[in-house]
Structure 1
């Protein structure tokens, strides 16, 4: 219900009706509607992180993430769209974002400078969030394979652009070489 295409029409009664539960049972597990919404969002974020952490390559990460978010578009909408329409998730979305950035930053080990790693990871997470949102909303017109290939190319190309090119005699990327304020 939270990730429905028409947007959330989420009430305790609607949740109970959908799950065939009594309101009493609902309140044994959740203090209120907001607690339930945060629990659903946290579950989707936890699954997304586990999916990404289990990947062995950038392509594997993108393919697994597409399977998780696109094959079940409700999950994708919960992760990417619900924080924009559910006031209770505004803070949750902001709390989870650094986890995704940190995960990607750890994968950017070919970029030696930690500040540059953080800049690249933050930029990529922002770009990928926009791409996945547009893909889920049917705004890109790309096939699944085109979408996956583009996301992989974006990850690899951006990381390569900021990695040292020792074959060209570069010790580090010019942005990393500048003094950090």
Structure 2
């Protein structure tokens, strides 16, 4: 089948994003330049600006968005298939899915969790992603017996985002390694404990 112009544009954009994932996930934000991305994608700068007229910042947001969306999809799928008769398993399924997602591609942890500390564009984009990920945590807490109300769940979810990020950054760099089973069990227990915090 002959590809259309739209197909070719989409393929070039995907190649540029993949090159961005590779650079951001292995060299960090400082390694993501237009020239390096074009070299990785085997495309000229003309095609870079075809997909990203706003330049490098737009690419960084696209790379961050793609990895975040993939992580969210993995967590949503895990929540949807968690055993309905064991509500505490919802959190465990979500945590295990996120761990597996990071294990499957070591670049993902750096893209999603650490590079926003060194790049202002990614730091701002991190803030934009908070609602989507707090919603996932609220869903996990609201599935528990005697769940918190929406206000307590929302506040706990925001606090948990920072705690879980720190836990996973520690896990990714730990020497000796932290066993995955312990990581998943501890993070699940933290979510369940946070769901018990009440403000009234």
TM range (shorter): 0.7 to 0.9
Q: 1:119-144, CA deviations, whole angstroms, 9 ceiling, x for partnerless residues? A: 22122222111101111222674112
Shift of 1:74: 0.8
* Structure 1: gaps spanning 5 or more residues: 163-174
Which residue of structure 2 lines up, in the alignment, with residue 101 of structure 1?
134
Q: Is 1:150 aligned to 2:186, yes or no?
A: yes
Question: What is the TM-score with the length of structure 1 in the denominator?
Answer: 0.81
CA contact (8 A) 2:91 2:141 kept: no
Contact between 1:134 and 1:140, CA under 8 Å: does it hold in 2?
A: no
1:112 CA displacement: 3.8
Structure 2: gaps of 5 or more residues: 1-22, 83-89
The residue number in structure 2 matching 1:50 is 73
Distance 2:175 2:190 in 1: 18
* 2:160 is the counterpart of 1:127: no
Moved over 6 A (4+): none
Closer, same or farther in 2 for the Cα pair 1:52/1:66, shift >3 Å? same
Residue 111 of structure 1 and its aligned partner are, at CA, apart by 2.1
- The answer as to 2:118 corresponding to 1:75 is no
**Aligned counterparts of 1:93 and 1:71: Cα–Cα separation in 2:** 22
Instruction: Give the TM-score normalised by the residue count of structure 2.
Output: 0.74
* Structure 1: distance between partners of 2:50 and 2:63: 16
Give the structure 2 partner of residue 114 of structure 1.
Answer: 150
Secondary structure (helix, strand or coil) at the match of 1:21 reads coil
**Residues paired across the two proteins, number:** 163
Which protein is richer in helix relative to its size? Answer: 2
3-state SS of the aligned residue for 2:120? coil
- Provide the rounded CA distance (Å) in 2 between the counterparts of 1:33 and 1:127: 30
Give, in whole Å, the separation in 1 of the partners of 2:148 and 2:98: 26
Contact 1:68 1:76 (8 Å CA) reproduced: no
Question: Judging changes above 3 Å, is the alpha-carbon distance between structure 1 residues 112 and 131 closer, same or farther for their aligned structure 2 residues?
Answer: closer
Which residue pairs with 2:118 in the alignment?
A: 85
Calculate the aligned-residue CA RMSD, in Å: 1.8
